[in-house]
Structure 1
Amino acid sequence: MLLDVLWPDTHPDIANNRLKVAMHHLRQTFGRIAGDGHPDDIIIFRDGCYLFNPRNKIWSDVEAFEHAWQVGRQLEVAGKLSQAIVYYQQAEALYQGDFLEQDVFEEWTLVRREELRDIYLTIVDKLSHYWFDTGDVTAAIEGWKKIIARDAWREDVYRQLMICFNRIGQRGRALQCYETCRHALRQQLGVEPEAETVALYNRLCDGPDRWPSSPAARDSRGVMENLNARLTAT
């Protein structure tokens, strides 16, 4: 399998020798990183396969990321949101870039990359909602901006940013968010913003005197009444 993947057009004997040389260098590299133990103990050959020695503890950022995500979800479902947030923050900190982003043409990485990326964006969205709901609007803005940087067509996130900027008295930036959203949708997808986004923009244009005096709900997602509530909540 490795020979076919790495050297598909090479004679098997030559490819096999290259594989042995590559594994030797790989063992030496891992040995220098580990700093202890014999390099040959790190990667072993068993039943015709190369594998990491199961006796060694190997830390993987992907495994740590997914573990923090799963624990966070379990805690959130159990109603322990503040504890879940700790794990979500750990997961976000672990995500330093898309999975094997340098291998953009390797088909086997595509599904995994998108899966991990979607989890990351979900985590950032959850954290941003938490920060908004607990009064840290600046942190919420930074979080939602991270999502837009990776997914420029997320209208729901643009709406959240519009609400946030309006909340901190920067209505001009809130209106600019709408223009950025409209431009991105037109340029990349050839569509106009959703009615909910347009309605929010129009109400922002009306000015603060046209907003309801009391919130109708805490969460802004879904319906226009909730968007209004978050814009006027204190």
Structure 2
Amino acid sequence: MTYYQLSCYLVVTVLVYRTFHNLVLYFKNRKQSYLLYFALLQVTYGAYLFCFTQTINVENPEKALVWERMENAFVPIFATCIALFVNNYKRIFSKDFILLFVFLNLLLAVLLFHDPNAYTISVSHPRIFPALGIVIYETDQPIIMQYTYLSGILMIVWTLIKVTTQFLKNRFRNRFLLYGLILFFSSVIVDILVANDILPIPYTSHFSFLVLMFSVDSFLTVNKSEREVRIEFKESVSKWLNKPGTSQFANREKEERSDLSEKVNKPSKAQNSKKLRVKVLGPLELDLDGKKISAAEYSSKKKLLKLIKLLLVRYGKGIHKEELLENLWPGMSEKNALNSLHALLFRLRKILGNPEAVVFAEDRLYFHPELVEADFVEFEREYEKGGKLLRNKKEEEAISAYRSAQELYKGDFFEFDLYFPESELKREYLRKNLIEIYKCLCEFAQRSGDAPSLLSDSESWIRLDDLDERAWRFHFESLQLLDRKNEALRKFEDMKKILKKELGVEPDQETVSLIEKIRVISPVN
């Protein structure tokens, strides 16, 4: 094996490792979705490079040409992945353009893989590099591949122009990604020239891809906690608000807020500090400084209500301007959609009574975290606080925090619109946290012999999830402590029917043992 081949295999090995690394980090923090696309990018390039190594110094040229076909089929797939990665990190292309680009590249990959007139011995020409001791078995590139190269060069140039423009406008903060892309794209163009017999040198893009990977990996793989994300968000919003003339869009927002301020007779500083409290655990409610905003002002207006829901389901993360326009006015021209958005935001700010409650920062629309409080965020805060206190052996304080969280949970997250996009995962996450709270409360009541609290908490747990036998066991035990043992036995029969009907199973042995213990103590007459 030559040093050149060894270098290729080493790059493939590193790519495999970094792919798994990025996937693990992505599953830890799914907000960083560009990690997933970067992992796909690494997998695709690794597959391309592996196929390429199978065309070097082989004994059977025909077999090498099969690998070359597969190698070239991965090229448009790789182009698709890199476009998705760059656009996911910073939206620089429209959704329609990306969809079209993905479709065309996948079509090219299929055509390359099934082209019967390409990659045959009759059009083969080995590429020999005596200094490296390698022979690369290739064929004259088919017309489809030439088109792929041309579209690739155009896409590279266009991407670099867009990325550089965003960087110069200070919207693309990761300079490592910019430099890495420039280096890699330059190397790719050189490789295209090599493939077309314009430059008599070996392929080198795998070295530059390694540089690209390490230059951006250190930045992309920062797995931030929710608290760090919120702090960073607050800082970015504050900086944006204090920065005059951030963009034309921001200036227009500023004018609208000014117009609204004049319309409500120039509110004072105290009025601007009014806090909006949003309740989404249960029925949707908006309160401004303790005064409920009438639901009639927003519930009957579909676009306005949808905007509020989008901001709530993306609370703390915001929603990108283009995604917002696509959600609210699909198919409408960008100019008309923006005008509609401005009008809608004006109405929303007027209803909320505070022009600063909704802000744009870096092309994303947010509820201002210092002016808008959400009950589910408070619930999570109290839940995390209770868990931390519990780990520090401060049980009574932890129970107090859990009680506060329990009081905030008036119903399921977005129960007023159960099928709203992205609400289901959050709803299940909060329910899981509430179940954990009930478990801790029941265990504490059990240890302290507080039968009434154990009864109340177990009943609440059963109402939340009547298929969880842990809740039933706590409930049966509380009834036993309150000398309501016959009721416990009757409810056991009810539980059996529920489990049989919903899951088709019998109660756990632990539950049966507890009931037998109760039955022995208090036989039914």
Superposition TM-score, scaled by structure 2 size: 0.36
Does the CA contact (< 8 Å) of 1:43 and 1:53 recur in 2?
A: yes
CA distance in 1, matches of 2:447, 2:488: 18
Residues 147-167 of structure 1, C-alpha deviations (whole Å, 9 max, x = no match): 111111111111111111112
Higher alpha-carbon deviation: 131-140 or 84-93: 131-140
CA distance in 1, matches of 2:382, 2:362: 34
Measured after TM superposition, the shift of residue 171 of structure 1 is: 1.0
Pairing 1:37-186 to 2, within 5 Å after superposition: 39-53=354-368, 56-186=370-500
CA distance in 1, matches of 2:391, 2:477: 27
Measured after TM superposition, the shift of residue 11 of structure 1 is: 4.0
Measured after TM superposition, the shift of residue 138 of structure 1 is: 1.1
CA distance in 2, matches of 1:149, 1:51: 34
Q: Which secondary structure does the structure 1 equivalent of 2:373 belong to?
A: coil
Q: Which runs of 5+ in 1 are unaligned?
A: 32-38, 210-234
Does the CA contact (< 8 Å) of 2:383 and 2:402 recur in 1?
A: yes
Q: Which secondary structure does the structure 1 equivalent of 2:514 belong to?
A: helix
Measured after TM superposition, the shift of residue 53 of structure 1 is: 4.5
Instruction: Give the residue type in structure 2 aligned to 1:43.
Output: V
Shift >6 Å, 4+ stretches: none
Measured after TM superposition, the shift of residue 196 of structure 1 is: 1.8
Distance 1:187 1:52, change over 3 A: closer
CA distance in 1, matches of 2:396, 2:362: 47
Residues 89-118 of structure 1, C-alpha deviations (whole Å, 9 max, x = no match): 111111111111222112411111111111
Q: Which secondary structure does the structure 2 equivalent of 1:79 belong to?
A: coil
Does the CA contact (< 8 Å) of 2:442 and 2:474 recur in 1?
A: no
Distance 1:53 1:68, change over 3 A: closer
Q: Does 1:19 align with 2:347?
A: no
Q: Which runs of 5+ in 2 are unaligned?
A: 1-322
Measured after TM superposition, the shift of residue 173 of structure 1 is: 0.9
Instruction: Give the residue type in structure 2 aligned to 1:66.
Output: E
Superposition TM-score, scaled by structure 1 size: 0.78
Distance 1:42 1:125, change over 3 A: same
Does the CA contact (< 8 Å) of 2:357 and 2:371 recur in 1?
A: no
Q: CA RMSD in A?
A: 2.0
Q: Residue 196 of structure 1 corresponds to which residue in structure 2? A: 510
Q: Which secondary structure does the structure 1 equivalent of 2:345 belong to?
A: helix
CA distance in 2, matches of 1:83, 1:49: 38
Residues 113-156 of structure 1, C-alpha deviations (whole Å, 9 max, x = no match): 11111111211221122123222201111111111111111111
CA distance in 2, matches of 1:119, 1:46: 31
Does the CA contact (< 8 Å) of 1:144 and 1:161 recur in 2?
A: yes
CA distance in 2, matches of 1:177, 1:167: 15
Percent sequence identity over aligned pairs: 28
CA distance in 1, matches of 2:455, 2:393: 25
Instruction: Give the residue type in structure 2 aligned to 1:23.
Output: L
